[in-house]
Amino acid sequence: MFRGIVPSWSLATELAFYLLIPVWALLIRRLVISRRGRSRVLVDLAGCGVLYAAGFIIREAISVRDPAWRAISWVWLPTNIDLSATGMALAVISAWAATDEKVRALADRVGQLAGLWWAIAIALFAWYAYRVGPVEFNGGYRGFFWQRRQFVDALVAVALLIPAVFGAQNRGLVRRTLRWRPIVWVGVVSYGLYLWHFDWIQRIPAGRAFTGGAGHPPGTAWPGWVHSVPGNTNFWVLLAGGLGLGLLFAAVSWELLEKPLQRWKNLL
Q: Can you give the pLDDT of all 268 residues of the chain as single tens digits?
A: 456 777 887 888 899 999 999 999 999 888 877 666 678 888 899 999 999 999 999 998 888 887 777 777 888 899 999 999 999 999 999 999 988 899 999 998 988 888 999 999 999 999 988 887 766 544 556 667 888 889 999 999 999 999 989 988 888 888 888 888 999 999 999 999 998 888 888 777 655 555 544 334 334 444 444 455 555 567 788 888 889 999 999 999 999 988 888 888 777 6
- Is 141 inside a domain boundary? no
- Whether residue 222 is contained in a domain is answered as yes
153 part of a folded domain: no
User: Could you tell me if residue 241 is inside a domain?
Assistant: yes
Considering the domain boundaries, does residue 215 fall inside one?
yes
Q: Does residue 48 lie in a domain region?
A: no
pTM recorded for the entire structure: 0.79
Residue span of the structural domain in which 202 resides: 180-268
- What is the 3-state secondary structure of the chain? CCCCCHHHHHHHHHHHHHHHHHHHHHHHHHHHCCCCCHHHHHHHHHHHHHHHHHHHHHHHHHHHHCHHHHHHHCCCCCCCHHHHHHHHHHHHHHHHHHHCHHHHHHHHHHHCCHHHHHHHHHHHHHHHHHHHCCHHHCCCCCHHHHHHHHHHHHHHHHHHHHHHHCCCCCCCHHHHHHHCHHHHHHHHCHHHHHHHHHHHHHHCHHHHHHCCCCCCCCCCCCCCCCCCCCCCCCHHHHHHHHHHHHHHHHHHHHHHHHHHHHHHHHHC
Tally of domains in the chain: 1
Residue 217 lies in a domain: yes
Q: Is residue 74 part of a domain?
A: no
